[in-house]
Every structure is written in structure tokens, then in C-alpha cells.
Amino acid sequence: MLHACVGMDQNLILLGITSSLLIVFGAVGTLFRYRTNEILYLADWFVAALVGYGGFAMLTFIGYLAANPDARLLVSEHSTLAWIYPVLCCLVIVGTWLSIWAFNPADKLNPLNQHWAIVPPLMRYQIVAVAMLVIGLVSYWLYARSYGGFSQLLAQAAGIRAGLVDVGDNPYTFLKRFGGFVFFSVLIFSGIILTKSKGALHSVLSWSGFSISFAVSLFILYSWEGRLGLVMFLLIVPLGYLLHKSGPSLKTLRRSLLLVIIPAIVLPASSAIWGKSSNLENVGAFFVKELSYPVVSLTRAHETNSLRYMKDILAAPAYLFPTRVWQGILGLDTATD
């Protein structure tokens, strides 16, 4: 292993160093905040996600390359700026902590503060959840109609993802991602169920809405052909139950890390379900392929040899419109085009 690391590209070694620094920096900062606040805010979970993806995932990437010379030679040609990704994650973490300090959520969002503890009626949550379910379902129905309906969309899903199916004649391609509203519906209904509210009518409505939105979400994610997204979605509900049962504490964070074992087991074996591989993929190769897209996107943007001057942030609202609008009329492109 040491001999393999010595022969590695210098940029990959830098990637390993910056990933390790990200892990230490994020872990120490999160632990300090927990000791100070005695609770983990959503911002702390966001930092933990950055550490997990930008730190541990990149170390997995390096470990696989160190043990596979052929893959290492292929990647080293395009790894000039790969080490910058963990550095950017560190900058995002610093910005997150500075924002928390500036807005002082400990005083403004204290759950014990009666001025901020006003909970809307349960029916309002159910109305929002139903509205999101309807918007997501109708949007996805319009999107699927050009392919012949839901069943035909499912049959052509692999070709659409691979770019083999012409979607130019579908005027509703921009509504594809609006199907994601159904995911939020699942979260809201599951939150209502976890509160164990009294009343048979509320219980029936909540369980019915949860069942329908959960089934629709599975269909949408399956039609997107995204294995990682599907498995992560299936982990949301048990993680929500864990948070509700134990509270947002460091102990809960440690327990939630056990859920990582499930994707590690399920994801490589899922290739046969989607027909992407007749045999089980090499586990290391699978996770490198799934986790390396930030590095690939960063490298692709760098290879264009042009500065974008943050124009993607300014143009972000335009990407909500169909491609023929932001690309054909406005002349915009993405960093990886």
C-alpha cells in the first residue's frame, strides 16, 4: 500500500491531505459547537454531510486508486484541481459558522422561547403536504405524457438517462424535477405521523397521504434510474424516527452513521436490478464511480479554460425554465457543458 501511494500522482496525494484536513477541521468544529450548545442544529448536520462527502468519500477514492495502478494512471491525467474540492468544502463550513454567529440562532430560535414556539394547526401541515403531492404528481404526469404515460416512461428511463432518447419534442421536460415535490410530501406526512396526534380523521389522512406519496416517490426515483438517490431516500424515514426518538444530539449522530452500512451493502448489488451489470460490481470501483462526480465536474469546468465569474449563481433562477428558454433564447450554458 505504501509503495502504491509513493507512485501516486502528486495531485492525488494533495487530495488525500486536504480531505484529511477537512475531516479534522469539520469534526473538531462540530464537537466544539455541540459542547457549547448541547444540541446539534441543522447547520451542524450540514457540516457533517460535507465532512462525510468531501472528506471520507475522497479518501475512499484515493484508497481505491492507490490499489489499482491502471485506474490511477487514467485519473491522474485529469486530477490537477481535484485537491481543491475539500478546500472549497472548508470554506463553505467557515461561511456556515460565520452565518450562525451573525444571526445568533441560539437566541432567536430557542425552542423554549414562547415567541418562537407557536406551532400552526396540524391541518395546515396536511394541506401543504397534499398540495405538494398534487403539484408533484401532476407535473410528472405532464412530463411522462409525451413518452406515452407512466408505463412507457419507465420502459424508456434508462435510454433517457443515457441520452439515447430524443426529448426535444417534449415541451414539459423542465417539469421532471418538479416531481421532487412529492418527496417533501413524504417528509411532512411522516413528521405528522411521528407526532402521534390525536384524532382518527387526522391519523387516516396522514397515513393515506404518506402511503400514496411514498409510492409515487419510489416510482419517480426508480424512473430517474438513480440508485444512490433511491437508497438515500429510503433512509430518510428511519433517520427521522431516530431524530424524533433521541433528539438532535451527538449520540444520535453516531447512531445515524450506522445507516451508512445499508447503502454499502445494497448499492453495489442494485446494479443487477437496473440491468447495468450482469454480475456484482467491484465494491471499490462502484463507490469510486458514484462518489467522484464533484471531482469530475470540477475538472470538466477547469478544462474549459474559461473563468465564469460566478455567473451561474446569478443565472440560477433561469434554470427553472425549459432548456429551450435558458439555452436557446438566453444563450446560457452550464459549467460542465
pLDDT tens digits for range 88-117: 899 999 999 998 877 764 444 444 444 434
* Burial readout 295-329 (b: 16 or more C-beta within 10 A, e: otherwise): beebbebeeeeeeeeeeeeeeeeebeebeeebbee
Q: Is the dihedral of CA 303, 308, 314, 320 positive or negative?
A: negative
Domain shared by 62 and 151, yes or no: no
- Helix or strand (DSSP H, E) at 138: helix 122-145
Nearest to residue 260, comparing CAs of 285, 289, 291, 298?
Answer: 291
Please, which pLDDT band fits residue 182 given cuts at 50, 70 and 90?
A: very high
Q: Name which residue leads in pLDDT, 140 or 39.
A: 140
Q: Is 232 among the domain residues?
A: yes
Q: Is 334 among the domain residues?
A: no
Q: Is 117 among the domain residues?
A: no
Q: Is residue 1 pLDDT above 60, yes or no? A: no
Domain shared by 179 and 202, yes or no: yes
Please, which pLDDT band fits residue 83 given cuts at 50, 70 and 90?
A: confident
Q: Which range of residues forms the domain containing residue 294? A: 279-329
Q: How many domains does the chain have?
A: 3
Q: Is 33 among the domain residues?
A: yes
Q: Which of 108, 130, 156 is the last residue of a domain?
A: 108
Distance CA(32)–CA(146), nearest Å, equals 53
Domain shared by 240 and 223, yes or no: yes
Q: Which of 272, 293, 319 is the last residue of a domain?
A: 272
Q: Can you give the pLDDT at residue 250?
A: 65
Distance CA(74)–CA(71), nearest Å, equals 5
Distance CA(179)–CA(314), nearest Å, equals 25
Q: Is 337 among the domain residues?
A: no
Q: Can you give the pLDDT at residue 212?
A: 95
Q: Which residues contact 92 (CB under 8 A, 6 or more apart)?
A: 50
Q: Name which residue leads in pLDDT, 67 or 235.
A: 235
Q: Is 336 among the domain residues?
A: no
The pLDDT of 176-190, averaged and rounded, is 90
What is the dihedral angle through the alpha carbons of 146, 150, 152, 153, rounded to the nearest 10 degrees? Answer: 70
Other CB atoms within a 10 A radius of the CB of residue 209 amount to 22
Q: Name which residue leads in pLDDT, 120 or 157.
A: 157
Domain shared by 51 and 162, yes or no: no
Q: Is residue 78 pLDDT above 60, yes or no? A: no
Tell me if 59 sits within 8 A of 88, measured CB to CB.
no
| Grid coordinates given for 143 | 412530463
Domain shared by 161 and 221, yes or no: yes
Distance CA(124)–CA(132), nearest Å, equals 12
Q: Name which residue leads in pLDDT, 76 or 96.
A: 96
| Grid coordinates given for 264 | 454499502
What is the dihedral angle through the alpha carbons of 200, 204, 207, 208, rounded to the nearest 10 degrees? Answer: -170
Domain shared by 129 and 251, yes or no: yes
Q: Name which residue leads in pLDDT, 335 or 10.
A: 10
Q: Is residue 47 pLDDT above 60, yes or no? A: yes
Domain shared by 322 and 233, yes or no: no
Q: Is residue 120 pLDDT above 60, yes or no? A: no
The pLDDT of 110-130, averaged and rounded, is 63
Domain shared by 11 and 101, yes or no: yes
Q: Which of 256, 272, 288 is the last residue of a domain?
A: 272
